[in-house]
Amino acid sequence: MFLPKIKAVIVFFVFAITIITEANAETNNTNLDKIKDIYEKGGITEAEYNAAIKKFSLNEKKVDKEINKEKKVLSIANTKKNKKINNEEPITIKDLEKFGVYTELKVSDYPEEMYSVLSKGCKSNVCISDKATKKMSLIFKRSSKWAEKNPGQLIKAMGYYELFYWNNFRKKQKIIERYKNNINQKYIKKKMDENALRSLIGLNKGREKMRKALGMDLSLTTKDALKGYWVLGSFLDLGEGKNLKKLSPELKKRRRLLTEYKNNISNLKQKLEEDKK
């Protein structure tokens, strides 16, 4: 979004300088003719005449240098833009299949305690997923020290992420279907659809990493994944966080995993914000 604006400004700037240069060239030629006429009539010495010619010549070179500089900036901007476009891998049917099969969630699909926490004041799955997204965001923003003392809450936040993904997957059903039906053809909204799908692919990769860290994969249903996160999270909540000067290898490993989860979420959130822009 930002690069085209820069490009437009540079193009206009180069164009303006070119117009000014042409005007200056005509003025310089007129002035040189006048100076030559004065010199030939003996109004100035040869040294003064040569100095005047040199001055006008230097001014022209300076303007030419500025034009070349701006053209170079424009060329670099175009190269970066084309490189970004060329580096984008095509979206395949396999990418679309990895999203899974969309199904509407039932009350029985949620862990009982999770539903109790999220359903207050909600009458739809969309409302529940919005609540889950807010809770997830708050938890992932907490410090690493807090995460070490509350690993159960962090695991439950991964369950909230499942609902966050589910809601985004729900919103893009029409886009997925349209793209799938026209994957090898050009159509008006194709570029816009590709951007939306790349965003969803990024979210799905985050979902896959989280599941993999706990021994689950994308073949597992949302219901079973939610249950897995919530059971483990509730179990970890039973323990009491302690400040230990020396951590066991197992706790150190857990801390590294939790830090990695937080970093993944942070990167995904940043990517989402960039896609919106």
Local confidence band at 66 (pLDDT 50, 70, 90 cut-offs): low
Q: Is 18's pLDDT higher than 60?
A: no
Residues near 34 by Cβ (< 8 Å), separated by ≥ 6?
A: none
The number of residues making up the chain comes to: 277
Tell me what the pLDDT averaged over the chain comes to: 77
Hey, where are the domains in the chain?
2-87, 93-276
Mean pLDDT of 41-46: 69
CB-based contact 148:231 (threshold 8 Å): no
pTM beyond 0.75, yes or no: no
Q: Which residue has the higher pLDDT, 187 or 73?
A: 187
pLDDT of residue 13: 40
Q: Is 179's pLDDT higher than 90?
A: yes
CB-based contact 148:255 (threshold 8 Å): yes
**CA–CA gap between residue 154 and residue 230 (Å, rounded):** 10
What sections of the chain are H helices per DSSP?
A: 2-40, 46-87, 93-97, 112-118, 125-140, 144-149, 151-171, 173-181, 190-213, 222-237, 249-276
Q: Which residue has the higher pLDDT, 204 or 59?
A: 204
**CA–CA gap between residue 116 and residue 14 (Å, rounded):** 63
Q: Is the dihedral of CA 13, 16, 21, 22 positive or negative?
A: positive
CB-based contact 77:184 (threshold 8 Å): no
**CA–CA gap between residue 70 and residue 10 (Å, rounded):** 7
**CA–CA gap between residue 105 and residue 132 (Å, rounded):** 14
- Digit-coded pLDDT (tens) for 77-134: 665 555 544 467 889 999 999 999 999 999 999 999 999 999 999 999 999 999 999 9
pLDDT of residue 59: 57
